[in-house]
Structure 1
């Protein structure tokens, strides 16, 4: 099996490849429980690294003090709110699922339609006709899907122990990455450069830009809008405000916005006769609903602009694949891949030839080959 002319041994190469493959598989098997926590921590640290450097400058250049300050910020602004939201979602999931699957959901009477000037009577008559003719049947047909969707969403959040484990690992790895961020970053760049030279180094830097764009421009904006919208719901007296806040954050993550939840809440307040708080929530919803137009461009400018369909696919696919953590990991994976493929494509200029000429040229070549055969 040994090639004496070239000086290499086929069996040695095969066994070397097998040994390296087994070593890689064994390493991945060992670190598997920590992969999601480390990926989550990497996104958080990359997104907040400039803030950590500013805090370090304010604290007399002491990295240890900056790490402690960033850890406290993560606990106060991220870990505790997320844990409370998920815990509240689990506690309130029972009544919501029972209501959605009870079979007693009826369309409201909408008596307040009478008070609308000019068109109130016609609107109320049309609504009554819808309810009498098929509104209840429509609700009954949609109800099973509402129940299944609710059960699926609550089941994803129901793995509370695993979620809190990854949350704790994220905090631990974040502390380590804050402490040795430069060394870790240089090590990753060195490994990428060893694999693909300047292309590999550029890929790592582009991946960092994409992660920062998703973390700041999408996740932070969704959290800010969801929390502010939830505050408005709680002050206005809307029941299950915490659960609706979680739904609002998910809606903002998939780029539907907070108005998907806020508008039905406003209608419910007016329908129940609480016009004062309905007006307050309406004004507050106008502020919260337009906040992303100001906040998202400012944050995304720090990273890289990304298509909204990419974010939508990443959020939904990440939720299905990884559960609640996938809401953050899914968009990042797609964003990094998109940026790398986009840069690779633009290394060559786009074709400028007329499509018809290209098709004719291919047809001529095909015809010449068929004649030769």
Structure 2
């Protein structure tokens, strides 16, 4: 009996046990590290689309295999292929953009001669504009030119890892198929592990995390993706240069809740400026529809709404892009949203609210 008590409180034995467990954890992490991004993405996709899988299974005579096949085809058709084509087009059109942004001839303020055509006040506005430019605006722009070129080159470089990006997409599809087949078993295992760690609170934490993932994925990412794609199609039809790059920029702006108008309005001005009033008017009407599109679509997708601070979403997008590349645009906001919701739930529970 004494020997058992002595073994239980043997400091050297406890240290070696802790060291062994820590070594196994670090080694396991290093082994699975190449798969973490694809796995995380698959978890997001499966949690978001799980209700659709269940409905398909009911329609397809209760056959899970048929439902998984349909979901996989939908995933490849509406998610993998568009993103892969978008990134590939981004790489193809990136060289002219980098050259344009780095060229001194392109980095200057326009003459704005068309201001003289405005009755009564046109000449005054034109003179004020040129006084502003000659007063140091062009000199400031010249100082900013190197940083604009470097920033453009860095942004395009984030999408340049096409091989790694395709690998992550393939892993995401593979893990998604496995989760679709064994989703209930995986969810039960995770919830049992959470209960083992924190009793009933652990289970509620897992449920809250799943709700946050579905809320952000549907309310933010899907809405932003639809807005960006519709806006990008309109830009391409209107003949706007670098429509693919502007589509990516619109997607980022929509995710951070700034909307697509920051890209569409300059495009409309450019069309009118170049004399294409027909497409300028069409894009103006389409921009008005698309600018309010998220107000209708986001509540319909999210139902309860993702009540998240805008600064949190902004940090998630920028931080995800800096740390994980283009994939971080999807993962960053979701991770911060889940963490925010869990911390908020813990604070409210401690405060008794």
TM-score greater than 0.5 by the shorter chain:
yes
Aligned to 1:12: 13
**How far is the alpha carbon of 1:7 from its aligned partner?**
5.3
Are 1:264 and 2:266 matched, yes or no?
A: yes
Report the counterpart of residue 55 of structure 1 in structure 2.
Answer: 56
Q: What does residue range 28-107 of structure 1 map to in structure 2 within 5 Å? A: 28-105=29-106, 106-107=108-109
**After the TM superposition, which of the residue ranges 160-169 and 298-307 deviates more from structure 2?**
298-307
Q: For 1:305, which of 304, 307, 311 is the aligned residue?
A: 307
Query: TM-score with structure 2 length normalisation?
Result: 0.94
Report the number of matched residues.
Answer: 351
- The correspondence of residues 249-260 of structure 1 with structure 2, limited to 5 A, is 249-260=251-262
Q: Is the 8 A contact 1:310 1:334 kept in 2?
A: yes
SS at match of 2:292: helix
Structure 1 residue 203 corresponds to structure 2 residue 205: yes
Partner residue of 2:174? 172
Give the CA deviation at 1:171: 0.7
Change (3 A) 1:276 1:116: farther
TM superposition shift of 1:10 = 2.6
Residues of 2 paired with 1:6 and 1:66: CA distance?
54
1:90 is displaced (CA, Å) by 1.1
Alpha-carbon separation, structure 2, partners of 1:278 and 1:108: 20
Unaligned runs of 5+ in 2: none
Instruction: For residue 114 of structure 1, report the CA deviation from its aligned partner.
Output: 3.1
What's 2:340 paired with?
Answer: 338
Compared with structure 1, are the counterparts of its residues 3 and 183 closer, same or farther at alpha carbon in structure 2 (3 Å cutoff)?
A: closer
- Aligned equivalents of 1:38, 1:303: Cα separation in 2: 26
Runs of 4+ more than 6 Å apart:
none
Superposition CA RMSD, Å: 1.9
1:4, CA displacement in angstroms? Answer: 5.1
Q: Deviations over 1:261-310 (max 9, x none)?
A: 11111111111111111111111111111111111223233564222211
92-101 or 126-135: bigger deviation: 126-135
Matching of residues 110-259 of structure 1 within 5 Å:
110-259=112-261
Q: Is the 8 A contact 1:3 1:9 kept in 2?
A: no
Larger radius of gyration: 1
Structure 1 unaligned runs (5+)?
352-373
| Counterparts of 2:204 and 2:61, CA distance in 1 | 33
Cα shift at 1:138: 3.0
User: Cα offset for 1:225?
Assistant: 0.7
Which moved further from structure 2: 113-122 or 222-231?
113-122
